[in-house]
Amino acid sequence: MNKVAKAVALASILGAATLANAGTVGPQNFNVTVNLTSSCSLTAAPTDVAFTYTSFGGAATATPSNFTVKCTNLRPYTLALDATSGTVIGLNYTIALSSAAATGTGVDQAFQITGNMVAGQSGNCAGASCTGTDVRTLTITY
Amino acid sequence: MAARHGKCERRQRPPLRWQGVLALALAAGSASTPFAAVPASHPFRVTVSLNMPAEVQAQCGTITEPGSGRKITVSCATPSAPREPPRYLLHVYRAGEWIPVEGEMGTGTLTSWRIVHVADREYLELLVGW
């Protein structure tokens, strides 16, 4: 062998020895952890519950309030009103939610707040017509 | 290659003192999150528009029966749409009975009445104010 051939042969032997010493490490498991914080939000705030009533008239049904909620998929939540009845300009009304509880789907879910007034109420009004407003609160708990 | 792997591991792993803090934070977070009930509230308005009913007028009146001083209700009714000229039904009390006299007369108060004999005929004279 000439000098070059000897050098190549030596390098091959050294390389083989190095590989034999390195070996392999077996499969190693590792965890991928995800910490998901559930969330709910009102994607469309509730619109007004609007009554139109004639003094001493028949029962009135309000134009319902519509709103949408988006919650984390599978997350249960509840809906509640701060009060289900009230009085505005001397007229008693009741309001109700279309649903008191639901489970999140990850997309918008639509709900309604309906309102009613019984017949035969007078109301307080010095003029030919009057308007009044009450503020109620919708609470979503999740 | 092995040297590069080792370098990467050293870079990704936080210092030991921070690992302890991180582990504590994760433990605290995992313990509290599943039980937390987070309320989200939003106000909304309940508006009421109150209208007066269509105006209903009733014509009610009383008349004093001549000679007695008693008040007697003579009519109370919802008027029909006015016509031109308006027509009214006048009730006149005479000799114990009410006599309807229809004519084009305005609503008024019968202040006095009398029967006048002229040439063998009786005339009813009414004085009505309005």
Residue-by-residue pLDDT tens, chain A, 142 positions: 455 555 444 444 444 545 555 678 888 899 999 999 999 999 999 999 999 999 988 999 999 999 999 999 999 999 999 999 999 999 999 999 999 999 999 999 999 999 999 999 999 998 888 999 999 999 999 9
pLDDT value of position B117 = 73
pLDDT score for B61: 58
Is the predicted pLDDT of residue B114 greater than 60, yes or no? yes
Structure tokens at A112: 């309604």
Asked whether the beta carbons of residue A40 and residue B41 sit closer than 8 angstroms, the reply is no
C-alpha span between B36 and B28 (Å, rounded): 12
Minimal-distance CA residue of chain A relative to B41: A139
pLDDT of residue B28: 37
Across the interface, of B30, B44, B48, the residue whose CB is closest to A46 is B44
Contact A139 B38 (CB under 8 A): no
- Residue B85, pLDDT > 80, answer no
Indicate whether this model's pTM tops 0.80. Answer: no
Predicted local confidence at residue B32, as pLDDT: 40
Instruction: Single out the residue of A115, A141, A138 nearest to residue A44, CA to CA.
Output: A138
Q: Residue B81 corresponds to which tokens in the numbers above?
A: 């749409």
pLDDT at B86 over 70: no
Cβ–Cβ below 8 Å for B44 and A135: yes
Cα dihedral angle (A65, A71, A73, A75), rounded to 10 degrees?
Answer: -100
Q: Verify whether the Cβ–Cβ distance B49 to A131 is below 8 Å.
A: yes
Report the C-alpha gap between A15 and B28 in whole angstroms: 52
Interface ipTM > 0.85: no
pLDDT band of B118, cuts 50, 70, 90: confident
Contact pairs from chain A to chain B, CB under 8 Å: 121
Q: Which residue has the higher pLDDT, A101 or B28?
A: A101
Nearest-CA distance B130 → chain A (Å): 29
Enumerate the domain spans of chain A: 40-125
The residues of B whose Cβ lies within 8 A of any Cβ of A are: 2, 26, 29-30, 33, 37-53
- For residue B26 the two structure tokens come to 């994760």
Which residues in chain B are contacts of A93 at CB distance < 8 A? 46, 48
